[in-house]
Structure 1
Amino acid sequence: MTTALAVQQGGALAQSQQSGRMAVADIISHVAMVQEVMRAVMKPEVHYGVIPGTDKPTLYKQGAEVLCMAFRVADSYQVEDLSTADVVRYRVTCTGVHQINGIVLGTGMGEASSGEEKYKWRKAYKEEFEVTPANLRREKKGYNKQKQESYSTYQVRTEPADLANTILKMANKRAKIAMTINVTACGDMFGQDLEDMDEALRDHLTRHAPDGRAPVEQEKPALPEMSAELFAQRLTEWRTAMTNQVKGATPDNIIGKAKTKYTLTAEQEAAIRAPIEKPAKKEEAATDALPPMVYADVADALTSATTKAELDAAALLIPRVSDEQFRKELDEMHAELVAGVPA
């Protein structure tokens, strides 16, 4: 993504404020840019990720910063202190302003409080728990699904003043994310790619502007290549799924899904399609391939050797002895004999 493109696309937001609306072609171009930034710059679980209990990715603070940089949006904050003697609470309004012409693009609000569950309580040692007043402590019950057993955790109330800075930062973060989604209109884009849009609707939006202008051809952005590092990580996951015969985990399905996000090389496709062989255990392979040996025969072969090459050949028989203690003694015998035998 070039600087010129970023300035052009970011400027469309500010131009819409002056004209009162955005052209449909500009909307499609804007959506395409958000998708391009997601593919080329933003990383899952760093800039966005799926929150447990939801069905589509959620924008993180790092992702909001990337989008604000791409669209030249500067943020400013207005803080309302709603704290009381027992609770630290802030409500923040984040305003997005275009960096070039200073036009206000939109706002977002966020709030945080020390009364939230994750801030209200902290883990405590039993001695600390026992000396804390009853109204400022609790014994929280839980259940460990893996161990299939219940457990208890001693907790005491946190000191709100100790969390004031953390609460303020959290309110700022929530407000910025809200502002970024409002300004860039990217809320639904984390759940659907531009190419997933209905073909007829996309063609209509890109070719028919409501102001009577000539049809606009929208070139589909090229997909980025999957980096070697990311491919190596994903290949391990894919092959594990295929080995475990997870439903739908076939080479064709995996390649097809990957190509909706990235461009795969011929070598990468070949690696996905490579046959998966279940490795045999060493002990099983040795037992199946060669018959076992007894201690006396291997010891005789070692003591009969007159050169280092013959000793090394005899040492290959040691792993075929089933008793571990015998193998250890034979290894020691081989080491002593090698020292005194010419090469």
Structure 2
Amino acid sequence: MDNLEKNLIIYDERESLNEKIIEREIEQFKLIQNFIKSQMKEGEDYGKIPGSPKPSLFKPGAEKLCNLYGFTINVDILEKVENWKEGFFYYLCKCSLRSKKTGEIISEGLGSCNSKETKFARQNPYTIVNTILKMAKKRALIDATLSATRTSGIFTQDIEDMEEMLITDENVEVKEEKVDYATQNQKNYIAKLAKDKNINDEG
């Protein structure tokens, strides 16, 4: 009987603990939503993308969220290709978010960018090397931020730099073009002109 009572107490404590965690998560989510509405600006910190159900998080918005949570931002280059002869450049970066209080790494994110991406197709690769590196760092930051702040349900990865979005055939409205064929009178007139100018089907 004593063992049964102990088990029931442990079970009740676990239920109580779970309820507290759920309540805390709900309250935290509400606070984040209020912060986004009151402190973050659409078009500057985030933006709505046609065809996407969630707004896209931009770099300034990610930095605001990191500051709110008390994170320090550190970005390292993991891999890089700088082929000056062929004009190809590639960077893979890792962003680490640390707690300012404890120094503990809370989240890490990866981001890459290269000069063969569609947006750079018509640009001189030698003049955008720094831009490519910055974009890789930005993507890593946003990846880490969405994970650390648990806002991936609110925002999606930053796609503000995309020039075009892929859409499915279901979203494409295909309109059948109306073709106006020549009337019989018009055909007769054309045939008469051809005869007068000695034009035949063989050219």
One-letter amino acid of the counterpart of residue 167, structure 1 = I
1:187 shift after superposition = 1.1
Give the structure 2 partner of residue 189 of structure 1. Answer: 154
**Does 2:102 align with 1:101?**
yes
Counterparts of 1:208-227 in structure 2, within 5 Å, are none
Task: Show the counterpart of 2:144.
Answer: 179
Higher relative contact order (CA 8 A, sep 6+): 2
The 5-angstrom pairing of residues 147-166 of structure 1 reads 158=124, 160-166=125-131
CA separation in 2, counterparts of 1:190 and 1:92? 21
- What amino acid is aligned across from residue 57 of structure 1 in structure 2? P
Q: CA deviation at 1:27?
A: 1.7
Matched residues in 1 for 2:50 and 2:82: separation? 30
Aligned-partner Cα distance in 2 for 1:41–1:66: 9
Alignment of 1:322-337 (within 5 A): none
Q: Provide the secondary structure at the position in 2 that maps to 1:23.
A: helix
**2:166 matches 1:167:** no
- Going from structure 1 to structure 2, the CA distance change for 1:110 and 1:190 (only over 3 Å counts) comes to closer
Q: Tell me which stretches of 4 or more aligned residues in structure 1 moved more than 4 Å.
A: none
1:35 corresponds to which of 27, 33, 36: 33
- What's 1:46 paired with? 44
CA contact (8 A) 1:106 1:182 kept: yes
- The residue number in structure 2 matching 1:140 is none
Displacement, 1:161?
2.6
Contact 1:51 / 1:58 at 8 angstroms: preserved in 2? yes
CA change 1:111–1:66 in 2 (3 A) is same
Aligned length: 134
Indicate the residue corresponding to 1:112 in structure 2.
113
What CA RMSD, in Å, does the superposition of the two structures yield over aligned residues?
1.8
Unaligned runs of 5+ in 1: 1-21, 123-157, 192-343
Provide the TM-score with structure 1 as the length reference: 0.37
Post-superposition offset of 1:164: 1.0
- Note if 1:25 corresponds to 2:23: yes
Partner residue of 1:83?
Answer: 82
* Whole-angstrom distance in 2 between the partners of 1:113 and 1:35: 34
| Alignment of structure 1 residues 1-343 onto 2, 5 Å | 23-79=21-77, 80-84=79-83, 85-122=86-123, 158=124, 160-190=125-155
- SS at the partner of 1:88? strand
What code does the residue aligned with 1:82 have? V
In the TM superposition, residue 190 of structure 1 has moved relative to its aligned partner by: 4.1
Amino acid in the other structure paired with 2:140: A
For residues 76-123 of structure 1, give each alpha carbon's deviation from its aligned partner in whole angstroms, at most 9, with x where no partner exists. 11102133343111011101101111111011111111111211314x
> Over alpha carbons, which structure has the higher Rg?
1
Q: 2:88, 2:155 → 1: CA distance?
A: 35
Kept in 1: contact 2:48–2:55 (CA 8 A):
yes
Contact 1:73/1:96 (<8 A) preserved: yes
1:239-279 deviation per Cα after TM superposition (whole angstroms, max 9, x unaligned): xxxxxxxxxxxxxxxxxxxxxxxxxxxxxxxxxxxxxxxxx
Larger helix share, 1 or 2:
1
Q: Distance in 2 between matches of 1:25 and 1:106?
A: 23
- Residue 23 of structure 2: SS of its match in structure 1? helix
1:82–1:91 CA contact under 8 A, matched in 2: no
Distance in 2 between the 1:118 and 1:29 partners?
Answer: 41
For 2:64 and 2:38, the matched residues in 1 are separated by 11
Runs (5+) with no aligned partner, structure 2? 1-19, 157-203
Return the alpha-carbon distance in structure 2 between the equivalents of residues 168 and 38 of structure 1.
Answer: 28
